[in-house]
C-alpha cells in the first residue's frame, strides 16, 4: 500500500556541527531546534515489484542526484531485499538552499516508507532512522522544541516543549536563491579536520545546551536569544577558521543580522540564527512579527520573506 507523510523543517537554535561517527552519522554534539508549522515536505512512497528500479520524483521532476541517499534510507527502513519504490516528494519552500529541506524530506521519508512497508515503528525508532540519513532530520519527527542528545549508539530526540506552549514565530529572509556551494556533511568534516576552534566548540556545547534548556523551561526569550545567537556565531566561527574557509554568508546575510540588532536596540523580542546557507532566520514573539517582516522587507537584496509558526512532528496523512 502507498503511504504519504508530511514533515516540517526544523531550525536549530543550538547547532549540530560535527560528527562523532560519520559511518553511523552520529553527531559530535547535542542540539536543540524548533520545528516549523507552515513549510513542509509531503512524501509519498510506494513499494511495487512491477517497477524495474527505484524512481525518485522531486517537485514533479525525476531526480537522480538525490536517489542514492534516498535508497540507502529506504534500505534501512524496509530492508535491502525490499521491492523497488516510487518516491514522490514535494516541498512548498526552496530546497537545498539552507532551509533544512533535507530534515523535512528524510523525516517524511522514514514515516512514509515505514508505513508503506507495514513496519509500524514508534517515533523514537523513526527518529533514529531519519537521523542516520540526515542528522537534523531526527529532530523533525518531534514538534515544538526538540533536543537531539549526543550519547550512546542510537540517535535520540526528546521534546522539550510543545509548539502550543510557547508560540513563537520564525521569519526567514531569503538572501540568495539556488543551491548552496558545499553540503553540510563535507563542510563538517573539513571543520573537524582543520578548524583550530573545533575542539573548543565540542567542549563548550554542553553549557550552551543547558542554558538553552533552562531558557526554554522558563520561557525566557532574552536568555534563549542570547545563547542561540552566541551558538550560531560560534558555529560559523568554526567554519570560517577551517581550511579552506567555509563561508555561507553574503553581504545581505550581514545586512539582515544588522537589522535584527537594530530591532533589538528598539526593544523588539527577536534574535537571528543562520545554518549552512546564506538565509537569515529571525525568531520572534508573535506580536513582533510585522516589525521583523518590515525590517527585512526594507533590505534591497532580500529576495523573499517566509514566515511560520512552530508546529508538530512528522506524521502520516490521508491519500486524497
* Positions that interact with ligand PMV (CB under 6 A): 12, 15-17, 31, 102, 134-136, 184-185, 275-276
Q: How far apart are CA 202 and CA 181, in angstroms?
A: 25
Q: How far is the CB of 100 from ligand PMV (least distance, A)?
A: 6
Would you call the peptide bond into 244 cis, given omega within 30 degrees of 0 as the criterion?
Answer: yes
Q: Report how far apart, in Å, the C-alpha atoms of 102 and of each of 35, 138, 206, 293 are.
A: 13, 11, 25, 26
Residue closer to ligand PMV, measured from CB, 3 or 213: 213
Q: How far is the CB of 184 from ligand PMV (least distance, A)?
A: 4
Residue closer to ligand PMV, measured from CB, 207 or 290: 207
- CB proximity list for 308: less than 8 A, separation 6 or greater: 8, 36, 37, 38, 39, 169, 170, 172
Q: How far apart are CA 235 and CA 15, in angstroms?
A: 7
Residue closer to ligand PMV, measured from CB, 268 or 281: 281
Which of 315, 297, 189, 285 minimizes the C-alpha distance to 244?
Answer: 189
Cell numbers for 41? 515536505
Q: How far is the CB of 205 from ligand PMV (least distance, A)?
A: 11
Residue closer to ligand PMV, measured from CB, 68 or 79: 68
Alpha helices in 59-183 (DSSP H): 67-78, 101-116, 123-133
Q: How far is the CB of 27 from ligand PMV (least distance, A)?
A: 8
Residue closer to ligand PMV, measured from CB, 233 or 317: 233
Q: How far is the CB of 67 from ligand PMV (least distance, A)?
A: 18
- CB proximity list for 192: less than 8 A, separation 6 or greater: 18, 19, 28, 198
Residue closer to ligand PMV, measured from CB, 35 or 184: 184
Q: How far is the CB of 318 from ligand PMV (least distance, A)?
A: 29
**Which of the 8 DSSP states describes residue 82?**
P
The DSSP bridge pattern shows strands 85-91 and 55-58 to be parallel
Residue closer to ligand PMV, measured from CB, 136 or 242: 136
Q: How far is the CB of 217 from ligand PMV (least distance, A)?
A: 20
Length of the chain: 320
Amino acid at each position: 500500500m502507498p503511504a504519504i507523510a508530511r514533515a516540517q523543517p526544523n531550525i536549530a537554535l543550538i547547532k549540530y556541527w560535527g560528527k562523532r561517527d560519520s559511518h553511523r552519522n552520529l553527531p559530535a554534539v547535542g542540539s536543540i531546534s524548533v520545528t516549523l508549522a507552515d513549510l513542509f515536505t509531503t512524501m509519498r512512497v510506494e513499494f511495487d515489484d512491477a517497477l524495474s528500479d527505484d524512481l525518485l520524483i522531486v517537485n514533479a521532476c525525476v531526480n537522480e542526484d538525490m536517489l542514492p541517499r534516498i535508497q540507502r534510507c529506504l534500505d534501512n527502513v524496509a530492508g535491502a531485499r525490499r521491492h523497488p519504490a516510487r518516491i514522490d516528494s514535494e516541498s512548498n519552500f526552496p530546497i537545498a538552499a539552507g532551509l533544512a529541506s533535507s530534515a523535512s524530506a528524510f523525516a517524511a521519508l522514514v514515516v512514509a516508507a515505514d508505513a508503506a512497508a507495514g513496519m509500524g515503528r514508534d517515533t523514537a525508532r523513526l527518529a533514529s532512522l531519519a537521523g542516520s540519513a540526515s542528522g537534523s532530520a531526527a529532530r523533525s519527527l518531534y514538534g515544538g522544541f526538540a533536543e537531539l542528545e549526543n550519547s550512546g549508539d542510537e540517535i535520540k530526540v526528546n521534546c522539550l516543549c510543545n509548539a502550543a506552549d510557547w508560540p513563537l514565530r520564525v521569519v526567514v529572509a531569503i538572501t540568495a536563491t539556488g543551491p548552496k556551494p558545499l553540503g553540510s556533511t563535507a563542510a563538517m568534516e573539513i571543520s573537524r579536520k582543520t578548524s583550530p576552534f573545533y575542539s573548543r566548540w565540542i567542549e563548550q556545547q554542553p553549557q550552551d545546551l543547558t542554558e538553552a534548556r533552562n531558557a526554554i523551561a522558563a520561557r525566557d526569550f532574552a536568555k534563549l536569544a542570547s545563547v542561540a545567537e552566541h551558538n550560531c556565531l560560534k558555529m560559523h566561527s568554526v567554519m570560517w577558521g577551517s581550511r579552506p574557509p567555509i563561508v555561507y554568508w553574503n553581504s545581505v546575510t550581514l545586512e539582515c543580522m544588522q537589522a535584527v540588532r537594530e530591532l533589538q536596540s528598539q526593544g523588539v523580542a527577536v534574535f537571528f540564527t543562520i545554518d549552512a546557507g546564506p538565509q537569515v532566520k529571525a525568531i520572534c514573539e508573535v506580536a513582533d512579527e510585522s516589525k521583523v517582516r518590515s525590517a527585512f522587507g526594507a533590505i534591497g537584496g532580500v529576495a523573499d520573506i517566509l514566515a511560520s509558526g512552530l508546529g508538530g512532528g512528522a506524521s502520516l496523512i490521508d491519500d486524497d
